[in-house]
Every structure is written in C-alpha cells, then in structure tokens.
Amino acid sequence: MANRGGKGSYPPSKSGAPNGRQMVLISDDSDSDSDDFFEEEAPPTHSKSNGKASSDSLKTGGKASSFSNGSKGGKAFSAGKGGKGSASNAKPAMSDAELKLQLDMSPNSILLTNCEAAEMLQKIQGHMAILSEDPKIKIPESFDKAFQYAKEGNHFTSAKLVKEILEPLKDYGVNDGEICMIANIGPETIEEVYALIPSLKATRSINEGKIAEALTALANIKASK
C-alpha cells in the first residue's frame, strides 16, 4: 500500500530527529487521516538503519505486538516519495510465524466455527427465496460473500460432530479460539497444528496426544471436495 505522495504520507524522519523516532505511515488517497496500519518506533540509540524497531497494531484493541525488522523480510511500510522503512537485523519470519492468536470479542459474543456458520447461513439461504419476494426486506450485502467463505472454509460434514471431537481438548489447555482455529484450518498433521497455532506449543506436552487423536477423528468426517 505504498502511497505516492497521498494525503497524510510523509517520509520517515532520519536518525537526526530530535526524539530518534521513525514514523512510517501507510495511507491511501481516498482515506482519512486516521488510516495508518502501524507505527514503528526506533529507540534513539538505534535510530540508524540497523536499529531494532517495535510496532503496534492500531485501534483494534489487540495487544501491541513487538517484532522487529530484518534485512531479509522487513515489515516496515513506507509511504510517500523516497520513504524508507526502518530496517534492523532481527528476524521477522520467526516473529510473523510465532504471532499468536489474539481473540478480541465483545462480552455478548459466541465464537462460531466455519462449519457452524455454514450450517446457520445455509438455513437462512433456504428462506432467501421467500424473503426476496418482499422488496422491503433487505439482506446485508456481506451475506453472499460470507456464506461462500463459510462453505469453502468448511472441511467437515457435520458441525455437531466437529464440536464433539474438539470440545474435550478444553481439558488439555486448548482454549476456545485455538479450537476454532483447528476446526477452521482442517489440519492434516500435528506439525501443521503447532506451526499454524504457535500458542499451543506452550502446552504441547499436555495436549499433543489428544490433538493427534482429534485429528484422526476429524479425518473420518472430512468432506470430500
């Protein structure tokens, strides 16, 4: 999303900035001023190009994740002419892969897996013919795309069976978000589970056997595509 001199874009400050802080902004021509993805702060002593940078996620209520840029895969985005992201010699590939799931739900919300959502949306789709006869009834425009997404992301034949297979994992240190991820990803091997959901590694010694059993059971109810 590099912007070519669009509104709100400016090159990051050089190391001679008074507070040594380097701001990297992404913006778009059509956007308001508040559309920066994240900022990168370089501590004053490392304000040169090899400094370690930390970045925050913006406005989402999620925890700020700090990860650094590396020469191999620096994550800094620059906007504007001649803007350069700050780079350092740290390891972004490790940090990206190790980025843990941060569930940020409102208190009155329940997490649904793709298979559960697909079944619910299928029922609504079944009524669509009747609903569409009345021009006053409006359906959100995201419905079709979300329904398509849920169907494609649903790897299993029955949401109820998926829940029965994965629910017991809660007793082995696997939280709701991780269970949802396992159901949505539809992993084939245990290594895939730990690679994609790094937060499970902390309790690997407790849950590895149970997750492997769950994967075997899930393989039996996988839908053919």
Partner 1 sequence: MVFLQAEMCWNVLISAGQLSPKGLLLRKSIIVRLLEDVTNRKASKEHGYYIAVNGLKEISDGKIRELTGGVLFPVTFTCITQRPMKGEIMVGSVEKILKHGVFLKSGPMENIFMSAKSMSDYKYMAGENPMFMKDYSKLEKYTIVRFKVMGFCWMEADRQFRLLATMAGDFLGPL
- Restricted to residues 26-55, the positions that interact with partner 1 (CB under 8 A) are 31-32, 34-38
Among the listed residues 19, 89, 122, 148, the single contact to partner 1 using CB under 8 A? 148
Residue 121 neighbours by CB distance under 10 Å: 18
- Find the farthest-apart pair of alpha carbons in the chain and give their distance in angstroms, rounded: 67
75 binds partner 1 (CB under 8 A): yes
223 binds partner 1 (CB under 8 A): no
99 binds partner 1 (CB under 8 A): yes
Closest approach, Cβ 18 to partner 1, in A, equals 27
Q: How far apart are CA 211 and CA 204, in angstroms?
A: 9
Among the listed residues 5, 44, 48, 96, the single contact to partner 1 using CB under 8 A? 96
Among the listed residues 142, 205, 224, 225, the single contact to partner 1 using CB under 8 A? 142
162 binds partner 1 (CB under 8 A): no
Q: How far apart are CA 153 and CA 63, in angstroms?
A: 27
Q: Nearer Cβ to partner 1, position 44 or 219?
A: 219
Residue 196 neighbours by CB distance under 10 Å: 14
Among the listed residues 81, 103, 158, 223, the single contact to partner 1 using CB under 8 A? 103
- Restricted to residues 194-213, the positions that interact with partner 1 (CB under 8 A) are 195-197
For the chain, how big is the Rg over CA atoms in Å?
A: 23
Closest approach, Cβ 155 to partner 1, in A, equals 11
Q: Nearer Cβ to partner 1, position 19 or 143?
A: 143
Instruction: Tell me the DSSP string of 22-88.
Output: -------TTS-TT-----EE--GGG-STT---EE---SSSPPP------SSS------STT------
- The answer to whether 68 touches 52, Cβ cutoff 8 Å, is yes
